[in-house]
Amino acid sequence: MRNIFNFINLHNGEEKKDKVLDDVMANISFRGSNLWILACAIFIASIGLNVNSTAVIIGAMLISPLMGPIVGAGFALGTYNFPLLKKSFKNLLIATVVSLLVSAFYFYISPFKDVQSELLARTAPNIYDVLIAFFGGLVGVIAITRVEKGNPIPGVAIATALMPPLCTAGFGLATFNFSFFFGAFYLYTINCFFICIATFLVVKYLNYPSSIVDSKYEKRIRYSISFLIIIMIVPSSYLAYNLFNEKKFTKTAESFLQKEFEKKGYTLIYKKLNYSTDPKTIDVAFLNKKFTPGEIESFNKMLIDNGLSNTTLTIRQNDSDLKSEILNEINKNNNNISEKDVAISNLRLELDSYKISDSTLRKEIQILYPDISSLSYGKIEQYPRTDSMKLQFVVIYSGENINQLQFKNWLKSRLNEENVEIIKNSEID
């Protein structure tokens, strides 16, 4: 048992405490070159987020000196060194303000203000970010207190990711998107706080000398830290729970669409899942299949049985805005799409608006109106004098004793179409 304890003992390979404290204090201040390095790193990280380049963002994190005052605050708390704590907070505040100003300035002058995936990833922190910051901080402070520093520090800088959330907060300021600002700044605060707490715990474990002997101060600090940990963890735990439910909803909705539509041969050309609305929505469109209102209602009833309570399914049909939405989705998911691909998608959607894929319609008409001897129907373009072009459903028939008004009203209800015209073959002659 003693051999196992020696094997995991952090005191093995430990650097002299005075030297560690001197190194920590030397990296706290943001003056001169440190401030310039920080500003350049922020600028590089902002560009990386702007162009969605993970490699550029990682490079910026590696050269960032932001860890210095955070680790300094952890050492100050662990040794109850309040002048050091004050100095660390002051320098962290300077670094934070400079970073926000530089990133906000960059995004303000940048002509590209699209929200990229790298930006979105920093707007909704959760409990996993807490764990990454805490364990990353542990690795960082353990490495700092070693004689042989090794190479964990660069990895800690990348894993804990202090720069990207700060730059994302700057993007929120520049674009007046305050949900982005608060979400990203909360992530930055989580990272700073839990790196600091990890440092505090390691410093206490390694028995660094305390600057005070009054046990009342120690109790107050412990209570304050416990209170702050709860404040940080509770919202992030809620966000993690929300993320879990969103992933579960997405997986269940995908499974439902595959089972009820894709496996039956219907080609899905548009899909949008929205978890944040109340009720949650599943918005879809198909290449050449039209569903009746009754069928759509029955699909909505199936949602609860498939684990999708408080959810509405909307099938987009004959929607003039659908074409542009689908093309936007295509462009969003594939930046390399060619003009030829866009033209093909455009033509398919246009042809689909003219197509009548209801195979049972002719049979129903023959049953309800047996006096009809011949029948033709389709959609044509109608150009009223006052309105723009719209599609009209036209039926041409031959036969006697047909109540045209009744036939027309039935077709309107059956097809969910307002613009229906009935023409008898003899009327054309």
CATH number at residue 182: 1.20.1080
Most trustworthy range by pLDDT among 36-50, 222-236, 362-376: 36-50
* Structure tokens belonging to residue 386: 């006052």
Asked if residue 196 belongs to a domain, the reply is yes
Average pLDDT, integer, range 346-352: 61
* Structure tokens belonging to residue 302: 């199936």
Asked if residue 347 belongs to a domain, the reply is no
Q: Cα(1)–Cα(11) distance, rounded to whole angstroms? A: 17
**Are residue 327 and residue 365 in the same domain, yes or no?**
no
Q: How confident is the model at residue 101 (pLDDT cuts 50, 70, 90)?
A: very high
Asked if residue 241 belongs to a domain, the reply is no
**Those residues with Cβ within 8 angstroms of residue 125's Cβ, 6 or more apart along the chain or in another chain:** 165, 183, 186, 187, 190, 236, 239
**Are residue 294 and residue 200 in the same domain, yes or no?**
no
Pick from 165, 195, 211: which residue ends a domain? 211
Average pLDDT, integer, range 363-371: 81
**Are residue 292 and residue 375 in the same domain, yes or no?**
no
* pLDDT of 42 over the 60 cut: yes
Half-sphere exposure of residue 182: CA atoms within 13 angstroms, side-chain side: 4
**Are residue 26 and residue 95 in the same domain, yes or no?**
yes
Asked if residue 231 belongs to a domain, the reply is no
Which comes out higher in pLDDT, residue 254 or 241? 254
**Are residue 50 and residue 171 in the same domain, yes or no?**
yes
| pLDDT for 356 | 67
Q: Cα(100)–Cα(174) distance, rounded to whole angstroms? A: 10
**Are residue 262 and residue 411 in the same domain, yes or no?**
no
Give me the phi and psi of 149, to 5 degrees please.
-70, -30
* pLDDT of 86 over the 70 cut: yes
- CATH number assigned to the domain comprising residue 287: 3.30.300
pTM over 0.75: no
Q: Cα(107)–Cα(43) distance, rounded to whole angstroms? A: 10
- CATH number assigned to the domain comprising residue 396: 3.30.300.30
| pLDDT for 336 | 42
| pLDDT for 27 | 81
**Are residue 194 and residue 294 in the same domain, yes or no?**
no
| pLDDT for 20 | 85
Q: Cα(245)–Cα(274) distance, rounded to whole angstroms? A: 12
* pLDDT of 335 over the 50 cut: no
Q: What is the 3-state secondary structure (H, E, C) of the chain?
A: CHHHHHHHCCCCCECCHHHHHHHHHHCCCCCCHHHHHHHHHHHHHHHHHHHCCHHHHHHHHHHCCCHHHHHHHHHHHHHCCHHHHHHHHHHHHHHHHHHHHHHHHHHHHCCCCCCCHHHHCCCCCCHHHHHHHHHHHHHHHHHHCECCCCCHHHHHHHHHCCHHHHHHHHHHHHCCCHHHHHHHHHHHHHHHHHHHHHHHHHHHHCCCCCCCCCHHHHHHHHHHHHHHHHHHHHHHHHHHHHHHHHHHHHHHHHHHHHHHCHHHCCCEEEEEEECCCCCEEEEEEECCCCCCHHHHHHHHHHHHHCCCCCEEEEECCCCCCHHHHHHHHHHHHCCCCCHHHHHHHHHHHHHHHHCCCCCCHHHHHHHHCCCEEEEEEEEEEECCCCCCCEEEEEEEEEECCCCHHHHHHHHHHHHCCCCEEEEEHHHHC
Provide, rounded to the nearest whole percent, the portion of the chain with pLDDT above 70: 80
Q: Cα(344)–Cα(354) distance, rounded to whole angstroms? A: 16
Burial class (CB in 10 A: 0-12, 13-18, 19+), 119: buried
Structural domain count, the chain: 3
Asked if residue 255 belongs to a domain, the reply is yes
Provide, rounded to the nearest whole percent, the portion of the chain with pLDDT above 90: 2
pLDDT tens for residues 209-243? 877 656 677 777 777 777 877 876 777 677 677 77
* Domain containing residue 95: 2-211
Q: How confident is the model at residue 328 (pLDDT cuts 50, 70, 90)?
A: low
Asked if residue 243 belongs to a domain, the reply is no
* pLDDT of 337 over the 50 cut: no
| pLDDT for 306 | 86
Hunting for tokens 């004050």 — which residue is that?
A: 86
**Are residue 313 and residue 253 in the same domain, yes or no?**
yes
One-letter amino acid of 85 = L
Asked if residue 264 belongs to a domain, the reply is yes
CA 38 centroid distance within chain: 28
| pLDDT for 100 | 92
Burial 211-236 (b: 16+ CB within 10 A, else e): eeeeeeeeeebeeebeeeeeebbeeb
**Are residue 126 and residue 72 in the same domain, yes or no?**
yes
Asked if residue 237 belongs to a domain, the reply is no
* pLDDT of 152 over the 60 cut: yes
Q: Cα(320)–Cα(59) distance, rounded to whole angstroms? A: 46
Q: Cα(293)–Cα(167) distance, rounded to whole angstroms? A: 48
Helices 178-205 and 215-260, packing angle to 10 deg:
130
pLDDT tens for residues 265-309? 777 777 888 887 888 888 888 776 778 888 888 888 888 888 888
**Are residue 24 and residue 135 in the same domain, yes or no?**
yes
**Are residue 75 and residue 192 in the same domain, yes or no?**
yes
**Are residue 155 and residue 61 in the same domain, yes or no?**
yes
Answer for the pair 287, 322: CB distance below 8 angstroms, yes or no.
no
